[in-house]
Structure 1
Amino acid sequence: MTPTRLVPLLEQFDFARERLGGRLAGPVMDSGDGSETAVGPLTDAEYLWEPVPGCWSVRRRTGGPGTRAAFLAGAGEWGRDAASYPHPWPPPFTTLAWRLSHLTEMLALRADHTAGGRTLTRDDHPVHGDAATAVAAFEEGAAAWRTALATADDTALDTVGYCTYPHGSDAEEPFVDIVWWVNQEVLHHGAEIALLRDLYRASGGGGAGAA
């Protein structure tokens, strides 16, 4: 049986995941008032759009990291702009590609460190250079995290360090707090991604203010 206190968190995650998925892939999205609005699937140009100079994004490794980034994180032909702590200040503006890659990595790795082999690191996680593959990877990561949550009972929710994800506060927090944190990550990065889609459309396909 699903613990009673986990139910609203699962419902919130499912809502945020479905809403972001619709925002990314279409053909319609929930506008928030119960009505549906047509939206086209994310294109590669929009995925990689840099609305201001000096953005952090995902890039081919052959080209090296972007401005103020020290290296490209992840696995594969593409990597995500990154730097060790302390991070650059003020923080660089990040593209839709960067935000989606970050969110997908977090979901996939936390799923592994909750109900998988508990071995994956950022160096193992592939970074994608095209929109369709990136959106599919997000869906896969979200599904893996949702499956991992289904294994949690009340004891797990109260266990500090139940998730061994190495890039957060998981080792110091009860698992129920990590579940809440992941929800807010999906909600706030989903809102950022939605806004970037709106800005891209309003700028005429990236024409105004594009780097």
Structure 2
Amino acid sequence: MSLPPRLSPLLEQFDFACERLLGRLAGPLVDSGNGVEIGVAALGDDEYLWEPVPDCWSVRRRHDGPGARATSLTGAGDWGRDWADSPHPFPPPFTTIAWRLSHLSEMLTLRADHTNGTRSLTRAGYRTPGDAAGGLAAFEAGAAAWREALLAADDTALDTVGHSTYPNGSDAEDPFLDIVWWVNQEVLHHGAEIALIRDLYRAQHS
């Protein structure tokens, strides 16, 4: 099946955003943005979980319980991500690289499943990685699953409201093309935030 012309630029943008984020996290080289490659150290566990300010939201061992202003640790397994039901705390807590990367990975994985998978995966069943290597692997797997869902979409799917039934977003109310655009923005802006936290960590620990 050929890719709908409306989807092509969004898929290219998604691929670029994921490649750039993974390069910034895994190294050893990443394009600086102008074609010049710069060296990047691979993300380690200390940096993955680094809390640069008090009362961060992060990924935590379940037996330690949620962090400040969080009411639960989402997901399954030994680790969970700080969370609170609506209304969320205000001002919003600062979130670690682990939190942001887990959020992206969960979103991509669940959206892919609710687009062309089993339509059964839930936030409560998602296993949150507690280490940097696991976090990177989860993001790569989630991005690959979402990309596969996009490749299966035709023009009819792009215009269909509720084509994805992901339960934690507007997927059931918006045309699929709008959801594709929104997912790109999530990867782009959280990817930029993660890159900035990496810069701060390097400055603090150099």
Report if TM-score (shorter chain) is over 0.5: yes
Instruction: Look up the equivalent residue of 1:152 and give its one-letter code.
Output: A
Distance of 2:127 and 2:69 partners within structure 1: 22
Displacement, 1:75?
Answer: 1.0
Distance of 1:100 and 1:125 partners within structure 2: 13
Distance of 1:88 and 1:188 partners within structure 2: 21
Partner residue in 1 for 2:184:
183
Query: Matched residue of 2:205: which SS?
Result: coil
Partner residue in 1 for 2:63:
62
Partner residue in 1 for 2:105:
104
Distance of 1:119 and 1:54 partners within structure 2: 33
Q: What is the TM-score with the length of structure 1 in the denominator?
A: 0.96
Instruction: Look up the equivalent residue of 2:139 and give its one-letter code.
Output: F
Displacement, 1:21?
Answer: 0.7
Partner residue in 1 for 2:130:
129
Q: What is the TM-score with the length of structure 2 in the denominator?
A: 0.98
Distance of 1:190 and 1:36 partners within structure 2: 18
Displacement, 1:126?
Answer: 0.6
Distance of 1:187 and 1:110 partners within structure 2: 17
Displacement, 1:29?
Answer: 1.1
Displacement, 1:165?
Answer: 0.2
Distance of 1:52 and 1:65 partners within structure 2: 16
Number of residue pairs matched? 205
Instruction: Look up the equivalent residue of 2:99 and give its one-letter code.
Output: W
Partner residue in 1 for 2:8:
7
* Structure 2 counterparts to residues 72-151 of structure 1, below 5 A: 72-151=73-152
Distance of 2:79 and 2:99 partners within structure 1: 11
- Structure 2: where are the runs of 5+ without partners? none
Instruction: Look up the equivalent residue of 1:160 and give its one-letter code.
Output: V
Distance of 1:131 and 1:59 partners within structure 2: 13
Displacement, 1:28?
Answer: 0.7
Q: CA RMSD in A?
A: 0.6
Displacement, 1:112?
Answer: 0.2
Distance of 1:155 and 1:25 partners within structure 2: 37
Displacement, 1:138?
Answer: 0.4
Displacement, 1:31?
Answer: 1.0
Distance of 2:25 and 2:126 partners within structure 1: 21
- Structure 1: where are the runs of 5+ without partners? 206-211
Distance of 2:160 and 2:42 partners within structure 1: 40
Instruction: Look up the equivalent residue of 1:116 and give its one-letter code.
Output: G
Partner residue in 2 for 1:199:
200
Distance of 1:93 and 1:138 partners within structure 2: 20
Partner residue in 2 for 1:169:
170
Distance of 2:18 and 2:205 partners within structure 1: 27
Partner residue in 2 for 1:208:
none
Matched, 1:51 2:52: yes
Displacement, 1:196?
Answer: 0.6
Runs of 4+ in 1 over 6 A off after TM superposition: none
Displacement, 1:204?
Answer: 1.3
Distance of 1:69 and 1:30 partners within structure 2: 37
- Percent of pairs with identical residues: 73
Distance of 1:109 and 1:203 partners within structure 2: 35
Instruction: Look up the equivalent residue of 1:172 and give its one-letter code.
Output: E
Distance of 2:125 and 2:25 partners within structure 1: 25
